Amino acid sequence: MRSKDKISYFYDGDVGSVYFGPNHPMKPHRLCMTHHLVLAYDLHKKMEIYRPHKAYPVELAQFHSADYVEFLHRITPDTQHLFSNELARYNLGEDCPVFENLFEFCQIYAGGTIDAARRLNNQLCDIAINWAGGLHHAKKCEASGFCYINDLVLGILELLKYHARVLYIDIDVHHGDGVEEAFYFTDRVMTVSFHKFGDMFFPGTGDVKVILNSLLFIAVKCFSSNSSFTLWNEILIQVVLKDIGEREGKYYAINVPLKDGIDDTSFTRLFKIIISKVVEMYQPGAIVLQCGADSLAGDRLGCFNLSIDGHAECVKIVKKFNLPLLVTGGGGYTKENVARCWTVETGVLLDTELPNEIPENEYIKYFAPDCLLNIPNGHIENLNSKSYLSTIKMQVLENLRSIQHAPGVQMQEVPPDFYIPDFDEDEQNPDEHMDQHTQDKQIQRDDEYYDGDNDNDHNMDM
């Protein structure tokens, strides 16, 4: 056990002024709300706070294609009508709109995750937090699910410079498809995603991919034999989780597809069993944890029944492994609950239990009328039966038995971090401490906030 974790926290108030549009569920103002709660609970006094550097195009191109990065750099709301073909090619539109300062927004949240990884690599901290990051759907050459740049992939690539194996864990309600896809063919990154699957839920990956006719043919063949029931059971278990990686990465993509309404007890029990076994078998050098808050009860786009304590329990479990840990945000569309959740989890990472009564802060009226950290219990029917969860658990553990214990890798000389001398004079030093960010107060728009219960459109992204 480490005596006391040193924690680096990354925040830039400029992310709060970003505006996706009046009808878009993604509201970056949730980051300002989170930060002001962190300040209100005096958590900033227990960690080092940094303004991230704005990631350079050459850094973003470590994963994304250069032409895609260049397109994001030059596109604006005023010029997008000139680029209809490119908009379609790169999947920008209703879900991933073009808005003012789009590229700067990407630079800030990606820069935060890159900086977090570098501080971990240089042993300047034990845990690094970037709540603005965690945009896990973005692909190499296109935007997806409200995500433009995949900061998680960029952070993992940084960690791989120093660590032979990196474990990625995702507790967003949506499958972490962009990260999985990026590392699908390698054993140097194991991805583990706990998410809702089925009912055309975005992004539609992370579970069984079997053609119905083929499955029906196998069923007929099974029931024509004497051992039909046993054989059919074996086949069903084998096809439950087929999205497992390929080539060197086979069995290194782990998916835990869940149904509506899963509760704290079921989720945390399954999480602890699977993640404990993953760490034992894979022996990662570092962990990246995506804490998407749309898996909370009451989220506008979610369908789980997790409380903040249940969500935070997963953070506690991962922290106890005492490995270098990079923590990011992700989805989360009931903003006051996102702020509650990520503040509580900042406290968890600092070993600090927070009073339930929310202190006075810039956004206190949005936590009314109770102004408490705890959120109401979810009331969605739990469709995850014990037998279903047992089947999922058995398949994951069976897949883990198929991997090598701690696969080796030929480590090479570590390349230096990017040094780009001709930056703008007003560019912030990424290692410059912020003065508690009290200057980062933002002016909110009237349409930034929702009334809540009337907006529950589960068919949208992230």
Residues with catalytic roles: 137
Question: Is 78 annotated to bind ligand?
Answer: no
Question: Is 145 annotated to bind ligand?
Answer: yes
Total residues belonging to the chain: 462
Contact 377, 297 (CB under 8 A): yes
H helix or E strand, kind and range, residue 74:
helix 66-74
Residues whose CB is less than 8 angstroms from the CB of residue 128 and which lie 6 or more positions away in sequence, other chains included: 7, 8, 9, 10, 115, 116, 117, 119, 120, 325, 326, 327
Nearest-CA neighbor of 179 among 103, 96, 245?
245
Question: Is 95 annotated to bind ligand?
Answer: yes
> φ and ψ at 191, to 5 degrees?
-105, 135
Rounded distance between C-alpha atoms, residue 287 and residue 320, angstroms: 12
Question: Residue 350: CA atoms inside 13 Å, Cβ hemisphere, count?
Answer: 22
Question: Is 294 annotated to bind ligand?
Answer: yes
Rounded distance between C-alpha atoms, residue 198 and residue 201, angstroms: 6
Strands 325-328 and 189-196: unpaired
Contacts 24+ apart (CB under 8 A), 197-200: 197/255, 197/257, 197/258, 197/259, 198/257, 198/259, 199/260, 200/459
Q: How many other CB atoms sit within 10 Å of the CB of residue 186?
A: 18
DSSP class per residue in 75-89:
--TTTGGG-HHHHHH
Which DSSP state fits 46? G
CA 118 to chain centre: 19
Contact 252, 245 (CB under 8 A): yes
111 token code pair = 């820069």
> φ and ψ at 116, to 5 degrees?
-60, -45
CA 375 to chain centre: 21
Rounded distance between C-alpha atoms, residue 32 and residue 17, angstroms: 9
Question: Is 172 annotated to bind ligand?
Answer: yes
Question: Is 408 annotated to bind ligand?
Answer: no
Nearest-CA neighbor of 314 among 296, 338, 336, 333?
296
Contact 380, 81 (CB under 8 A): no
Q: Which residues are annotated as a binding site for a divalent metal cation?
A: 172, 174, 294
Residue numbers belonging to the annotated binding site for substrate: 95, 145, 333
Point out the annotated binding site.
95, 145, 172, 174, 294, 333
